[in-house]
Amino acid sequence: MIIAVDGPAASGKGTIARALAQHYGLPHLDTGLLYRAVAAAVLREDLDPSREADAVSACSFEDYLLDDPWLRTDEVGKVASVVSAHPLVRAALLNRQKKFARQAGGAVLDGRDIGTVIAPDADVKLFVKATPMIRAQRRHLELRKNGVLTSLDKVLADIRARDERDSKRTEAPMLQAPDAALLDTSFLSIDAAVQRAIAIVESKTNPASTPA
């Protein structure tokens, strides 16, 4: 079974995808980490993330880099949004993601184009969203916990700018697949959102089930 989980930054898609993977005993890939790894390499080499050739040169990284905590920082996330807009970067990472999705037994993948590009034939597709302000509040709290001092207004501006880049890019823009179930986590607890996601998967794979 292949489960595709898409959505914007701080919507809760990663948490939901990891929970689904654990619940169904499936391997999980946060595809955003691939672009964050490229971004990290660009930053370390002092390259220009807006220059496609520089970003492509950073695509040949080893898998162990995906475990680097630095990849999950806001600094790397902003650059990842820039490099991910380059068609040649997306092409360079495409097969890596498709191979993971099509492994024996299935997988859970989360990102922004899983249900539309990486695994359009996924058994279950979810599009997870939340309001920009709710997402900004979540990210702001996360940053404060990590000792990063910044204003909520700045985080909100960054969230909106990232949404704009991700949805307006010409190559594989962030879109809800026509057959994806919409899950709005704006006013749901983590547990409630996960249970709703499980109910959606069950409804798609077991016709006798319906989402709560």
- Write out the binding residues for ATP: 7-15
- In terms of Cβ atoms closer than 10 Å to its own Cβ (0-12, 13-18, 19+), residue 203 is middle
What is the token pair recorded at 190? 């983590």
Nearest Cα residue to 70 out of 34, 37, 109, 93: 37
What is residue 121's three-state secondary structure? coil
Q: Are 87 and 70 in contact (CB under 8 A)?
A: no
Q: Are 123 and 200 in contact (CB under 8 A)?
A: no
Give me the amino acid identity at 34: L
How far apart are the two ends of the chain, measured CA to CA in Å?
21
Residue ranges of E strands in the chain:
2-6, 28-30, 107-111, 124-129, 181-184
- Tell me how far apart the alpha carbons of residues 67 and 37 are, in angstroms, rounded to a whole number: 10
- Tell me how far apart the alpha carbons of residues 76 and 115 are, in angstroms, rounded to a whole number: 24
| Positions at the binding site | 7-15
